[in-house]
Structure 1
Amino acid sequence: MWVEKNNKLTKSFRFSDFQEAFAFMMRVAFLAEKHNHHPNWSNVYNTLDIELTTHDKGNTVTEKDRNLAKAIDEI
């Protein structure tokens, strides 16, 4: 579940290992390019933390963030 806090949508994803986490990150990267909206993220071994915020709208959560979050969940 995505959580909206401090003007960001955030979600953590856990995978069985680093390779699975990295494969997911690659899919999200292509999706982000398609949406022309790029996440802030952090990966440590099998955990990926994603933050979405719209920088050109004053670092607030916008429809762009919600649309990308929905698309990420559909992967």
Structure 2
Amino acid sequence: MWQEENNQLTRIFVFRDFSEAFAFMTRVALIAEKMDHHPEWTNTYNKVTFRLSTHDAGNTVTDKDRQLAEAIDQLIERLSD
């Protein structure tokens, strides 16, 4: 689940391997681009870590971050089916 800490929404997703993690990141990139809200994230092998905040709002969590988090959750649900 998403955690709100240090003015960021954070969450770590773990996949079977690098290819799955990278495919997930590619899908998130397309969603984020459409929303014009680009995440801070890292990828280490099969792990993708997000830190969402809105830079234009003084690096705090806004509705844009919550909407992107929800879109990412919906993507994960679709990939799990």
TM range (shorter): over 0.9
- The answer for unaligned runs of 5 or more in structure 2 is 76-81
Secondary structure in 1 matching 2:51: strand
What is the aligned residue count? 75
Tell me the TM-score normalized by structure 2.
0.92
Percent of matched pairs sharing the same residue: 63
Instruction: Extract unaligned runs of 5+ from structure 1.
Output: none
Moved over 3 A (4+): none
Q: TM-score, normalised by structure 1?
A: 0.99
Distance 1:50 1:25 in 2: 10
Structure 1 residue 6: Cα displacement: 0.3
RMSD: 0.3
- Name whichever structure is richer in helix by fraction: 2
